[in-house]
A and B are shown apart, each in its own frame.
Chain A
Amino acid sequence: MTIIKNTGGFVPRDRNWQPAALTPQYKTSVKRSPQAALLSFPTTLSEETNPVFGHNMLGDLDNDLIHNYAASGESAIGPRIIVHGRVLDEMGRPVPGALLEFWQANAGGRYRHKKESYLAPLDPNFGGCGRTITGEDGSYEFRTIQPGPYPWPNGMNDWRPAHIHFSVFGHGFAQRLITQMYFEGDPHIWLCPIVDTIDDKAAVESLIAPLDMHRTVPMDSRAYKFDIVLRGRRQTFFENRVEGM
């Protein structure tokens, strides 16, 4: 039997694949981006460990944004969709027990937030947040309404493509990630200065969820598939220790 003697650290982030800190087309980044080089070092226990989130913390409607804020017997307005996928690591292994938190605008592109000033109306039955924890095979799903695109103050006429924000915890704090899911076919994706912070076209495409007719619920909801990949962790037979220590 093969015994893996030592679990190595996390594989370094590919900083060319990830967005840079300073991206002037996204104006807010200009004064919020560090200028000095990042300090690189191998992951330690502080980055290879992670808080524990148990399935027992979840309420029944936590993964149902259509109903989790709605009055009894009512539901949120908008195109009903299921978002599903798997959380994997770079080695292709499923990441079970990953906490996913998601938030989004309503079908008109309006967030439920007091700093939000877009003239589109609030939906009294839509709060805009949900959460779930991946199963043993790394899979997850939730139900929501498709969010609308919305204008935002950056250039004089910038619009966000329809999107859902995701916050993800894996098995090590080094895997901590926040990202956004976009929808197949949305022409705003290629016009958006925030999407454009990612240089590599293939990297952008990895955030675009395709319509998944196999997972639709006929006469009820369409489905979109969105897989999320977290940093991988090395496994090795060879200990990485200084001689004599």
Chain B
Amino acid sequence: MTQKLEYLKESPSQTAGPYVHIGCTPNFTGIEIYGEDLGASMKTGPVKGQEITIKGTVFDGTGTPLRDAMIEIWQPDGEGLFNSANETRGQADPNFTGWGRSPGDMNTGEFTFETVKPGAVPFPDGRMQAPHVTFWVVARGINIGLHTRMYFEDEAEANAADPILTRIEHQNRVPTLLAKKEADGVYRFDIRLQGEGETIFFDI
């Protein structure tokens, strides 16, 4: 016998199910109890930095778009600062929440976020990471939320030095993490859950 380590176990995840929108974006489902759905807008006033739009669709292993997913993003402001109680490096743009939540389009499943291009944030060892947006996807059939990251295809130099992107064994999968520039300030980031072109998901 030894002394006991008195740690608790994380609560197990369970699928968000088909009705996650009732709980997380109730106005979207026609249940009007709160004001605006949380995360529906990421800007509360004029923001600093380059304003961008991120669009995308989540596809299953048959290539069918998910129309019952909930997608959340989390990112720093244009200068690389998070609007978080844990941010100790400076004061983030007060008009930018950094957090967005989308139920996707009712018919097509496409999500859209109006946000800003994130600034760079350091890795724990001090090296700079390439600008990126954290994605979290839940839906019916997904037992535990899927984390991934969106990087920018037009940040080739920063991407080539990024501590995580350069560490990926299968470099031919890195493009699954790169948003494609569709127009000035408009990026597309499609997420493939399974099969050909499967997005890299993270265990963070």
Binding site for B on A (CB under 8 A): 9-10, 12-15, 17-21, 23, 26, 28-36, 38-53, 59, 61-62, 68-69, 88-92, 97, 101-103, 111-116, 127-131, 165, 167, 171-174, 176-180, 194-195, 197-198, 200, 202-204, 206-207, 228-232, 240-242, 245
Contacts and interface: CB of A to CB of B under 8 A. Distances in A.
A21 B85 contact: no
A229 B204 contact: no
Indicate the member of B39, B127, B194 with the most A CB atoms within 10 Å: B194
Main secondary structure of the interface of A (DSSP, over half): loop
6 contacts: A33-B141, A34-B198, A39-B164, A44-B129, A129-B33, A171-B86
Nearest to B58: A32
Indicate the member of B20, B33, B82, B193 with the most A CB atoms within 10 Å: B33
Interface of B: 6-24, 26, 29-31, 33-34, 38-39, 60-62, 64, 66, 68, 72, 74-76, 82-87, 97-99, 121-127, 129, 132, 134, 136, 138-147, 149, 164, 167-168, 173, 193-195, 198-204
B11 A206 contact: yes
Contact of B168 (A18, A39, A202, A242): A39
A229 B61 contact: no
Contacts of B74: 46, 49-51, 173
A242 B10 contact: no
A172 to B, nearest CB: 7
A39 B203 contact: yes
A228 B14 CA distance: 13
B125 A242 contact: yes
Given A39-B202, A113-B19, A51 B97 contact: yes
Contacts of A113: 18-19, 21-22, 29
Contacts of A240: 124-125
A110 to B, nearest CB: 11
Given A51-B97, A178-B145, A40 B203 contact: yes
A90 B56 CA distance: 35
B3 to A, nearest CB: 15
Given A20-B143, A28-B141, A29-B143, A165 B82 contact: no
Contact of B83 (A32, A52, A207): A52
A219 to B, nearest CB: 27
Nearest to B74: A173
Nearest to A100: B23
A17 B143 contact: no
